[in-house]
Amino acid sequence: MADLHKHLHKHRWSAELELQVQFYDLDPMQIVWHGNYVKYLEMARCALLDKLDYNYPEMQASGYTWPIIDLHLRYAHPATFGQHIKVRASVIEWENRLRIEYVITDSASGRRLTRGTTTQVAVAIDSGEMCFASPPVLFQKLGIEQA
């Protein structure tokens, strides 16, 4: 039942955007330079956080910063100039950290180009201390009632 609960929320806790690869994102091999994928993830993450009404200004106002402590990317196929891509971000963990999964696909074919994850932890602004459990505000923004 917990897996079904998480699956149902995954769609509610997802955002997707479509981008067209620009010339300035290419490397000398005429494919997207690997570092630019991090920018694409950030754009999708901000769209997701906006959807949750908990983007960086709201995080700060709630008394927490959420630095990224881990980033993983797996490149399957390169993106090229002019290509339309979709970047989907989905919350997959929230209890002790905020973990977001990303999938970048070709818009026309649906072919997976890149996948990745980021992990963020709550840090109390007033003390600078990392929280070992996500603060109640995250659960509230996700629409989860805590026991």
CATH number of 2-142: 3.10.129.10
**Residue 7 or residue 51, greater confidence:** 51
Per the rule left: phi > 0, alpha: psi between -120 and 50, beta: everything else, 82 is left
CA distance 61 to 127: 15
Query: Can you give the pLDDT at residue 53?
Result: 96
- pLDDT tens readout for residues 24-83: 999 999 999 999 999 999 999 999 999 999 999 999 999 999 999 999 999 999 999 999
Please name which of 89, 9, 93, 81 lies closest in space to residue 43, comparing C-alpha atoms: 89
Q: How far is CA 54 from each of CA 30, 39, 77, 138, rounded to the nearest angstrom?
A: 36, 19, 32, 8
Q: What percent of the chain has pLDDT over 70?
A: 92
**Model confidence at 9, in pLDDT bands (50, 70, 90)?**
low
Q: Summarize the confidence of residues 86-105 as an average pLDDT.
A: 97
In this structure, what are the phi and psi dihedrals at residue 11, rounded to the nearest 5 degrees? Answer: -70, -35
To the nearest 5 percent, what fractions of the chain are helix, strand and coil? 30, 35, 35
pLDDT at 135: 96
pTM, to two decimals: 0.90
Tokens in use for 135?
């603060």
Report the alpha-carbon distance of residue 87 to residue 18 in Å, rounded: 6
